Amino acid sequence: MAMQTIEKLFEHELKDIYGAEQSLLDALQQMADESTDREIKKGYTQHRKETQGQIKRIEKIFKSLGQKPAAETCAGMEGLIKEKKLFMREKPSEELIEFYNIGASQKVERYEITAYENLIEMAEKLGMGDAVELLEQTLQEEEATLNKLKAIASEFEVAEEGEEEEEEETTSSRR
């Protein structure tokens, strides 16, 4: 069946972001588990709860369309998750995993922001005021999360190559 209308495109994109948000729940839990920084761990846990609320909003939109919520595999989100798995094969240090996760989370937020902006645009064209309101709420949360991640990234310090070796030498010479 060919997709010929903005209504069908909206439904497709809604299923796509629904799938993306569900995939993200697992990824956020994994990043929280990997985190050694208490504040960052708390941030991932908080964002996971926020994502659960975003999923509920999407379900409300499906209901308003008279449809049962359905997810499609989101190729974009799956690609970002695959990138993480490939990175982990490199056996990075805990500190580098933390730094990577902050950057990967920013990629995810930018992806979601664009998806929600597009859904809002379509919902406006379709005269779906309630959907627009729900989607805008989520968009604001995604933008706030991106800003928090940018702040964390700017403060995060990663040992440069060589610094780690010097630190180990200093520590072993003190023994």
Q: How confident is the model at residue 38 (pLDDT cuts 50, 70, 90)?
A: confident
Single-letter code of the amino acid located at 151:
A
pTM, full prediction: 0.85
Is domain 6-174 in CATH 3.40.50.300, yes or no? no
Identify the pLDDT of residue 40.
Answer: 84
Cα(9)–Cα(11) distance, integer angstroms: 5
The structural domains of the chain, with segments of one domain joined by +, span: 6-174
Looking at the predicted structure, is the pLDDT value of residue 165 above 60? no
93-152 residue pLDDT tens: 888 888 898 899 999 999 999 999 999 999 999 999 999 999 999 999 999 999 998 988
